[in-house]
C-alpha cells in the first residue's frame, strides 16, 4: 500500500498519533522503574564512591557503615561471586574497584539498608585510606603519556599531505569541543527481585536489557537463562543508559544475591552526574588546504577524545566520529587520526549522535574558517564542497552516497528561511549597532544510519493474537520517550488491519525477545518495525490461508482493514475470523526476525558500506549576541528535515525539535568542569545549565520534508530520526561565530560550548 491508499483505509502508519503513553505521562500514571510496586522485603542500595582521581586502596574499613541505622549488608569487590566487570565490549571496567581507583566517583562498595536515606547516609561513613597516584586529567596529557583505552586509529584517502601543501591556501587550527551530560529526567535506577531456585528478575532503566541480563548473570555467577531483564519505559536515556545502566543493575543484583531480598539502587542527580559517563569532549587539530573558490583540496584531522578510565563504547563512538568528519562534504584527500585517551575521569559513553556530532563539528569549523578567510558566504563554501550526485560521491570509507538530497534540502531551506535577505539584514544591523551583534548560519546534516558494528543490526519481535482479536506486542526495542513503541504498534496495526487501540504495547523483556541489540544508533523503528511487521505478517498469512479455505475463495480475495476481514463476498470482524481460526487450530502467535540488508564493513581495510542509508537535514539559526557580556539569544530557527515517509509525523517533529534544542545546549550552555583534583564541579542543575523553555527560539519553524520516501526498503520507506536532528544545532554555534566576527577579524577563536565566558574570551582574543 502506498501513502494515498493507506490514508483512504484509515491506516495507522503515517498518522500523527499521540505517544501511546501521553495520557499517562501528563497525569503522572506512567510507571517508571521507581514507580513499580515495591516488594515487601525491599532494601535500598547506595554506593560508596572514590574521593580520589587515582589511588591505590590501602584499606577500607566499613565497620561504621555496617553499624549505621537500618543497614543490612555491604558488598566489596572481593565479595562478588562472579566476574567483577561491567565493560560491555572490552572487559576493562570493574563494577566495584578492587585495588585501585581511577576516578573521583568510582564505586568502591555498596550498602543495603531499609530506607534510601539510611543507605545513602551510611555510605558516607566508610573509612578509606588511599595511596595517591598521579592522575591524567585531560586528553592532551593522555596523548603525551601514551595513555589510551584503545589503540589509535587512522583513516586515509588520497594524498592529503601533498594536497594540503600544494593548495593555494592553507589554514590550521586547534579547537576544543566540550562534553555533555545526558541529563535524562529519570536518573539511573534498577530493582532486582530474587526468583525461585536462584533466578533473578531485574527491572532496569536501560536501553539494552539484553546486556543487563548478560552482565548481571556474569557478575552473580549465573547463566543468562537465570536472569530476566524488563523495561517498560525509560525517563530519558539519550545514550547514557546504553551501556552504563548495567553497572547499576549489577550492583542491585549483587546485593540481592547477598541478602536474598529485593534490592533497589536509584542514583540521585549529583551521584548520577559524578558516577556515570557523558559525551566525549575532544581536542581537534585540523590542517586544511583549499583553493580560491573555497573547495577543499586536502585536510588532515587529529582528534583526541576523553574516554575516561575504560573503553566502554568509546571504540564505536570514535569510529562514528571518523565516519562523520566529512559531514556533507566530499573529501578526496583526507587523513583522520583518532586517539582514544585514557583519563582519570568517569568513563564516557554514548550520547545522541555517538561521536558524529564531534566529527561534524570539526569539519563545519574548517568550512566556516575557509569561507571567512576568503570573504565568502559560508553557505557558498558548503555547497561547493557538498557531495555530488553520480560524481564526487564516494565517502572516505568507501561507501557511495546513493541517496544525496543535500541540494534539495538546502534549496528548500534557503528559500523557506529567506536566508539571503536575512543575511543581508544581519550585516545591515551590525553596521548600525556596536554592542548587540546579530549572526546567521545555515548548516547541513548527513548522518549514517546503522550500527557501525554490522552484527548489531538485528532485531526480534513477538506478536500474539488472542481469541478476542486483540494483540499483544513485544519487540527488543526500548521506549525512552522517542515514540518507538507507538510507531511499531502502528506498523502491526496496519499489518493486521486492526486499530492501534486493539494492541497492548508491552515492556521490553529478555524472556520474550532474546538477544536484542541496544535501542540506539537511531535504528529502533527501522529494525523493530520490520521485525514486528514480519511477525504480524506470519499471522496474517495464516489467517489468509485459513479464510480462503473456510470461505472457499482465493487467497488474493482475502483482505484485512479497519478491524474487518473480507473474503470474497463475506465480511466479518477481525475478532470473528480469529475465533474461527482458533477453533480450526491455527497458530495465532509468531516471532519476527530482521537483519538490515546491504551493510558490511571491513575494519582491516577501513572500507565497505557501514550505513544502510543516510538521513539529511539542514537548519538556519539567527542569534543576537551582547558583545559586552557574551550573553546571547537564539531569535529564529528554521529547519528542513528528512524523515523519509514518516511513520508518525507527530513523533518525528518532537524528535527534530528536541534534538535541536539538546544540541543547542551542548554547544552553548552545558559546560562540564573538573577541578585540578579531578572532581567534577558541575554535577547539578545549579551549575550545569541545560536549555529551558525560555531558551527556545521565539520563532521555531520545523518542516519535515514531504514526498521523501527512503530509496532503501526500510519500514514503510521511513527514515530514522532519533539522532540526526541533534547536529542541526551546529548552526547555532556558527551563527554566534558569525555575530562576533568582524571585517578585520573574521576568524574568532571560539571554543564549544560557546558560553558567555567563551564568547567574551573569543572577542577579547580578537582585539589587537
Ligand atoms: N528521545 C527521547 N525523548 N528520549 C531519549 O532518550 N534518545 C535519543 C533519541 N531520541 C532519546 C530520544 C537517542 S541517543 C537515540 S539513539 C534514539 O532516540 C533511540 O531511539 P530510536 O532508535 O527508536 O530512534
Ligand atoms: Mo543513541 S547515542 O545511539 O543511544
Integer Cα distance of 723 and 655 in angstroms: 8
Q: CA-CA distances (angstroms) from residue 49 to 276, 385, 744?
A: 12, 49, 51
Q: Which atom of ligand 1 is nearest to the CA of 487?
A: 23
Give me ligand 2 centre to Cα 231, in Å: 17
pTM, full prediction = 0.97
Cβ neighbours of residue 303 under 8 Å, at least 6 residues apart?
A: 282, 283, 284, 318, 321, 322, 325, 336, 337, 338, 339, 358, 359, 362
Cβ atoms 7, 14 nearer than 8 A: yes
Ligand 1 atom with least separation from CA of 350? 14
Cα 202 from Cα 213, distance rounded (Å) = 8
Residue 349: name the closest of 317, 319, 383 by CA.
317
CA dihedral 444, 181, 518, 642 (to 10 degrees): -20
Active-site annotation, residues? 723
Euclidean distance between CA atoms 590 and 460, whole angstroms: 11
Measure 193 CA to ligand 1 centroid, in angstroms.
28
CB contact burial 155-193 (16+ within 10 A = b; e otherwise): bebeebeebbeebeeebeeebbbbbbbbbbebbbbbbbb
Q: Which atom of ligand 2 is nearest to the CA of 242?
A: 4
Give the residue, out of 234, 521, 526, 615, with the most ligand 2 atoms within 8 A of its beta carbon, to mutate for a pocket test: 521
User: For residues 669 and 632, is the Cβ–Cβ distance under 8 A?
Assistant: no
pLDDT at residue number 370: 98
d(CA 347, CA 314): 9
Residue whose C-alpha is closest to residue 138's, from 128, 129, 147: 147
* 102, 42 contact by CB (below 8 A): no
- Within 6 A (CB) of ligand 2 lie 207, 239, 242, 350-352, 354, 520-521, 723
Contact 389, 711 (CB under 8 A): no
Nearest ligand 2 atom to the CA of 353 is 2
- Quote the distance between the C-alpha of residue 94 and its chain's center: 24
pLDDT at 767: 82
Q: How far is CA 589 from the centre of its chain?
A: 32
Phi, psi of 646 (to 5 degrees): -60, 135
* Closest of 710, 738, 109, 95 to residue 405, by C-alpha: 710
CA 717 to chain centre: 22
Q: Do 63 and 19 contact (CB within 8 A), yes or no?
A: no
Residues enclosing ligand 1, CB less than 6 A? 236-239, 352, 480-482, 484, 519-525, 655, 658, 720, 722-723
Q: How far apart are CA 85 and CA 66, in angstroms?
A: 25
Which numbered atom of ligand 1 lies nearest the CA of 184? 6
Please report which ligand is nearest the Cα atom of 615. 1
CA 227–ligand 2 middle distance (angstroms): 25
Whole-number Å distance between alpha carbons of 567 and 155: 59
Q: What strand order describes the sheet that includes 334-342?
A: 148-157, 334-342, 296-308, 282-290, 169-177
Distance (Å, whole) CA 464 – CA 57 = 53
Burial of 202 (0-12, 13-18, 19+ CB in 10 A): buried
Q: Which residues contact 525 (CB under 8 A, 6 or more apart)?
A: 477, 484, 487, 488, 647, 715, 718, 720
C-beta separation of 88 from 99 below 8 A: no
Beta-bridged to residue 437, according to DSSP, are: 625
SS3 189: strand
CA dist list (Å): 106 to 53, 95, 426: 9, 9, 49
Determine the distance separating the centroid of ligand 2 and the alpha carbon of 86, expressed in angstroms.
18
Instruction: Say whether the peptide bond before residue 329 is cis (omega within 30 degrees of 0).
Output: no
Q: What are the distances in angstroms from CA 420 to CA 417, 441, 639?
A: 9, 11, 16
What's the DSSP call for residue 153? E
Residues in the chain with pLDDT values less than 50: none
Assess contact for 582 and 467: CB atoms under 8 A.
yes
CA of 318 to the centre of ligand 2 (A): 13
Contacts of residue 504, defined as CB under 8 A and 6 or more positions apart, other chains included, come to: 470, 471, 472, 473
Long-range contacts of 414-421 (CB under 8 A, 24+ apart): 414/379, 414/442, 414/620, 416/638, 416/640, 416/701, 416/703, 417/442, 417/620, 417/638, 417/701, 419/379, 419/620
Whether the CB-CB separation of 258 and 252 falls below 8 Å is answered with no
Counting ligands in written order, the one closest to the CA of 482 is 1
Percentages of the chain per state (helix, strand, coil), in multiples of 5: 35, 25, 40
DSSP letter, residue 718: B
Whether 728 contacts 641, CB under 8 Å: yes
What's the CA gap between 366 and 767, in Å, rounded? 22
pLDDT for the residue numbered 603: 83
Output the pLDDT for position 435: 97
Which residue in 610, 458, 446, 588 sits closest to 523, CA to CA? 458
User: Which of 448, 520, 655 for mutating ligand 2's site (highest number of atoms within 8 Å of CB)?
Assistant: 520
What is the number of alpha carbons within 13 Å of residue 706 lying toward its C-beta? 2
Helix 314-323 and helix 356-374, axial crossing angle in degrees, nearest 10? 30
DSSP state of 518: P
Ligand index nearest the alpha carbon of residue 356: 2
Distance 356 CA to ligand 1 centre (A): 15
Angle between helices 730-740 and 649-668 (to 10 degrees): 40
Ligand positioned closest to the Cα atom of 184: 1
Cα distance between residue 634 and residue 742, in whole Å: 20
Amino acid at each position: 500500500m502506498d501513502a494515498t491508499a493507506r490514508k483512504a483505509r484509515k491506516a495507522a502508519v503515517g498518522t500523527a498519533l499521540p505517544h501511546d503513553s501521553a495520557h499517562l505521562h501528563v497525569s503522572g500514571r506512567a510507571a517508571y522503574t521507581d514507580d513499580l510496586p515495591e516488594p515487601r522485603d525491599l532494601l535500598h542500595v547506595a554506593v560508596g564512591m572514590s574521593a580520589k582521581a587515582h589511588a591505590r586502596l590501602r584499606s577500607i574499613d566499613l565497620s561504621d557503615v555496617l553499624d549505621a541505622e537500618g543497614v543490612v549488608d555491604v558488598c566489596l569487590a572481593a565479595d562478588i561471586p562472579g566476574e567483577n566487570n561491567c565493560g560491555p565490549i572490552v572487559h576493562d571496567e570493574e563494577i566495584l574497584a578492587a585495588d585501585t581507583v581511577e576516578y573521583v566517583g568510582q564505586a568502591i562498595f555498596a550498602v543495603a539498608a531499609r530506607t534510601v536515606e539510611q543507605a545513602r547516609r551510611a555510605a558516607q561513613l566508610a573509612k578509606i585510606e588511599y595511596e595517591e597516584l598521579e592522575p591524567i586529567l585531560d586528553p592532551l596529557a593522555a596523548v603525551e603519556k601514551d595513555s589510551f583505552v584503545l589503540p589509535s586509529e587512522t583513516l586515509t584517502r588520497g594524498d592529503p599531505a601533498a594536497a594540503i601543501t600544494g593548495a593555494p591556501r592553507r589554514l590550521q587550527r586547534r579547537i576544543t569541543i566540550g562534553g555533555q551530560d545526558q541529563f535524562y529526567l529519570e536518573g539511573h535506577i534498577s530493582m532486582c527481585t530474587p526468583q525461585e531456585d536462584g533466578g533473578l528478575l531485574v527491572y532496569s532503566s536501560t536501553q539494552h536489557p539484553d546486556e543487563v541480563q548478560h552482565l548481571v548473570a556474569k557478575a552473580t555467577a549465573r547463566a543468562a537463562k537465570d536472569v530476566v531483564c524488563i523495561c517498560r519505559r525509560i525517563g530519558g536515556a539519550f545514550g547514557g543508559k546504553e551501556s552504563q545502566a548495567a553497572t547499576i543493575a549489577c550492583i542491585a543484583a549483587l546485593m540481592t544475591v547477598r541478602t536474598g531480598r529485593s534490592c533497589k539502587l536509584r542514583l540521585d542527580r549529583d551521584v548520577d552526574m559524578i558516577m556515570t559517563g557523558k559525551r566525549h569532549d575532544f581536542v581537534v587539530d585540523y590542517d586544511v588546504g583549499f583553493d580560491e573558490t573555497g573547495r577543499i583540496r586536502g585536510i588532515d584531522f587529529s582528534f583526541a577524545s576523553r574516554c575516561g578510565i575504560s573503553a566502554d563504547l568509546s571504540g564505536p563512538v570514535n569510529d562514528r566520529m571518523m565516519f562523520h568528519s566529512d559531514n556533507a562534504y566530499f573529501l578526496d584527500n583526507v587523513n583522520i587520526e583518532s586517539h582514544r585517551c585514557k583519563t582519570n575521569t568517569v568513563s564516557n559513553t554514548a550520547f545522541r549522535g555517538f561521536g558524529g556530532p564531534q566529527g561534524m563539528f570539526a569539519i563545519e569549523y574548517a568550512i566556516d574558517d575557509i569561507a571567512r578567510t576568503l570573504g565568502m558566504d559560508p553557505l557558498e563554501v558548503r555547497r561547493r564542497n557538498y557531495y555530488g550526485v553520480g560524481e564526487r560521491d564516494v565517502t572516505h570509507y568507501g561507501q557511495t552516497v546513493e541517496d544525496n538530497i543535500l541540494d534539495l534540502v538546502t534549496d528548500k531551506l534557503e528559500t523557506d528561511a529567506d536566508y539571503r535577505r536575512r543575511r543581508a539584514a544581519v550585516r545591515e544591523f551590525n553596521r548600525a549597532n556596536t554592542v548587540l551583534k546579530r549572526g546567521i548560519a545555515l548548516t547541513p546534516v548527513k548522518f549514517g544510519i546503522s550500527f557501525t558494528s554490522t552484527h548489531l543490526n538485528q532485531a526480534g519481535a513477538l506478536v500474539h493474537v488472542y481469541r478476542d482479536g486483540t494483540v499483544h506486542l513485544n519487540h527488543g526495542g526500548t521506549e525512552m520517550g522517542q515514540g518507538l513503541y507507538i510507531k511499531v504498534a502502528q506498523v502491526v496495526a496496519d499489518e493486521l488491519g486492526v486499530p492501534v487501540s486493539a494492541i497492548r504495547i508491552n515492556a521490553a523483556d529478555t524472556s520474550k525477545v532474546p538477544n536484542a541489540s541496544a535501542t540506539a544508533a537511531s535504528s529502533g523503528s527501522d529494525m523493530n518495525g520490520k521485525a514486528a511487521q514480519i511477525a504480524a505478517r506470519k499471522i496474517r498469512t495464516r489467517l489468509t490461508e485459513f479464510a480462503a479455505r473456510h470461505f472457499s475463495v482465493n487467497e488474493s480475495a482475502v483482505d484485512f482493514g479497519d478491524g474487518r476481514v473480507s473474503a470474497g463476498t463475506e465480511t466479518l470482524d477481525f475478532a470473528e475470523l480469529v475465533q474461527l481460526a482458533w477453533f480450526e487450530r491455527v497458530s495465532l502467535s509468531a516471532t519476527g526476525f530482521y537483519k538490515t540488508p546491504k551493510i558490511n564493513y571491513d575494519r582491516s581495510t577501513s572500507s565497505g558500506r557501514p550505513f544502510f542509508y543516510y538521513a539529511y537535514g539542514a537548519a538556519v539559526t539567527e542569534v543576537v549576541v551582547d558583545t559586552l557580556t557574551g550573553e546571547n539569544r537564539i531569535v529564529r530557527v528554521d529547519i528542513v528535515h528528512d524523515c523519509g515517509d514518516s511513520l508518525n509525523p507527530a513523533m518525528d517533529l518532537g524528535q527534530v525539535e528536541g534534538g535541536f534544542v539538546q544540541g543547542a545546549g551542548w554547544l552553548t550552555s552545558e559546560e562540564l568542569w573538573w577541578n585540578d583534583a579531578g572532581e567534577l564541579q558541575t554535577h547539578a542543575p545549579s551549575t550545569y545549565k541545560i536549555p529551558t523553555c525560555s531558551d527556545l527560539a521565539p520563532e521555531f519553524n520545523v518542516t519535515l520534508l514531504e514526498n521523501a520516501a527512503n530509496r532503501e526498503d526500510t519500514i514503510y520507506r521511513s527514515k530514522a530520526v532519533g539522532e540526526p536532528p541533534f547536529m542541526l544545532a551546529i548552526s547555532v554555534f556558527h551563527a554566534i561565530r558569525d555575530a562576533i566576527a568582524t571585517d578585520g577579524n573574521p576568524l574568532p577563536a571560539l571554543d564549544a560550548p560557546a558560553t558567555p565566558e567563551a564568547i567574551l574570551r573569543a572577542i577579547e582574543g580578537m582585539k589587537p
